[in-house]
């Protein structure tokens, strides 16, 4: 039976929680690093690439919990270097994302507007943004891609078209992941093959339908537990459609969302780097608690 792992978006706080969750599950006997296929969107692309490249899962969150990421800079949109101040205001972006996922307007047209916003925004330089990915990827050749099945998502900033990066795309994983993590208005669009790309979460916070064809799909959805109000409802509706697509294709779908303790640890803004250690601890605790429930699905053959 083929096993797929889908890791959704959620900013640096989402990276921390997903990393803790991966570690907790691994310590409980569920090694998500052994998935046959890993799909990442935004924050999930960073976590997924590390997994697909063979990072040690039981210790996956140790550096974040210790607030010590080797070689990493904390990107600040105003300074392009180490940051630790208040998180940026994402109100305008959240409104556009809600429109893109709400079904009222053509989603591609809204994504094109988001792309125009991203291209016009004053952010750090693209080269500086790429440097923020730090030691996790710094030793890789520019064209490296994980041997284990991996894909990540992005959106063409000029056309609004959705892009799924795979090994067959013949682009390096570092730039592909950077494009998936390029939050519009916060980070610069990333250049691949002569075009500029932004965060794959502009289509969907999970893009889980891209994992169709696998018999088991574990979906880690940060924003289902972290987003409230109208946007949260739209994200949930879009996610439900994606799950139905997977089930219609014969998949068993297991969804993991942040529990109450995790949501409390996140705070109000998933871009707040200061929340990462607590979010990772919450993910670790949740992974340990959920491992016994997930293990029968993961071990089934």
Range 232-254 average pLDDT: 90
Which one, of 272, 285, 296, 280, lies nearest residue 84 by Cα? Answer: 272
- Segment 116-140, tens digit of pLDDT: 999 998 899 999 998 876 667 878 8
Tokens encoding 85: 């101040």
Between strands 149-156 and 162-165, the pairing is antiparallel
More confident residue, 1 or 9: 9
More confident residue, 86 or 112: 112
Kindly state the average pLDDT of the residues 75-90: 48
Given a cut of 90, whether residue 26 has pLDDT beyond it is: yes
Q: Mean pLDDT highest for which of 73-87, 88-102, 141-155?
A: 141-155
pLDDT recorded at residue 68: 63
- The reported pTM is 0.90
Average pLDDT, the chain: 88
- The closest alpha carbon to 29, from 67, 58, 7, belongs to 58
pLDDT at 190: 97
Does residue 257 have a pLDDT over 90? yes
Minimal CA–CA distance to 257: which of 71, 46, 31, 14? 14
Strands 190-192 and 162-165: unpaired
> Which pLDDT value is given to residue 227?
55
Distance CA 199, CA 187 (A): 9
For residues 85-100, give the mean pLDDT: 68
Residue whose token pair is 């949501």? 263
- What is the per-residue pLDDT across 175-189, written as a single tens digit (0 to 9) for each? 999 999 999 989 999
Residue 284 and residue 61 in contact, taking contact as beta carbons nearer than 8 Å? yes
Instruction: Measure CA 190 to chain center.
Output: 16
Q: What is the pLDDT of residue 76?
A: 46
Given a cut of 80, whether residue 79 has pLDDT beyond it is: no
């Amino acid at each position: 039976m083929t096993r797929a792992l889908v890791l959704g978006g959620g900013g640096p706080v989402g990276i921390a929680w997903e990393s803790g969750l991966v570690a907790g599950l691994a310590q409980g006997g569920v090694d998500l690093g052994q998935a046959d296929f890993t799909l990442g969107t935004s924050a999930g692309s960073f976590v997924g690439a590390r997994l697909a490249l063979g990072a040690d899962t039981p210790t996956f969150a140790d550096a974040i919990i210790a607030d010590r990421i080797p070689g990493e800079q904390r990107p600040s949109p105003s300074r392009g270097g180490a940051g630790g101040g208040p998180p940026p205001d994402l109100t305008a972006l959240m409104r556009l994302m809600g429109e893109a996922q709400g079904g009222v307007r053509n989603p591609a047209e809204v994504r094109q507007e988001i792309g125009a916003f991203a291209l016009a925004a004053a952010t750090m330089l693209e080269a500086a943004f790429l440097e923020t990915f730090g030691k996790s990827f710094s030793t890789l050749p520019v064209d490296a891609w994980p041997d284990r099945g991996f894909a990540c998502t992005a959106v063409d900033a000029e056309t609004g078209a959705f892009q799924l990066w795979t090994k067959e795309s013949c682009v390096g994983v570092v730039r592909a992941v950077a494009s998936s993590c390029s939050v519009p208005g916060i980070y610069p669009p990333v250049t691949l093959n002569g075009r500029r790309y932004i965060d794959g979460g502009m289509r969907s916070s999970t893009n889980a339908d891209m994992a169709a064809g696998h018999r088991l799909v574990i979906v880690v959805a940060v924003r289902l537990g972290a987003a409230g109000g109208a946007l949260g409802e739209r994200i949930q509706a879009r996610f439900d459609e994606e799950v139905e697509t997977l089930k219609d294709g014969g998949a068993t779908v297991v969804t993991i969302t942040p529990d109450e303790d995790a949501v409390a640890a996140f705070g109000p803004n998933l871009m707040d780097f200061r929340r990462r250690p607590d979010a990772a601890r919450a993910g670790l605790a949740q992974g340990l608690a959920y491992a016994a429930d997930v293990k029968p699905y993961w071990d089934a053959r």
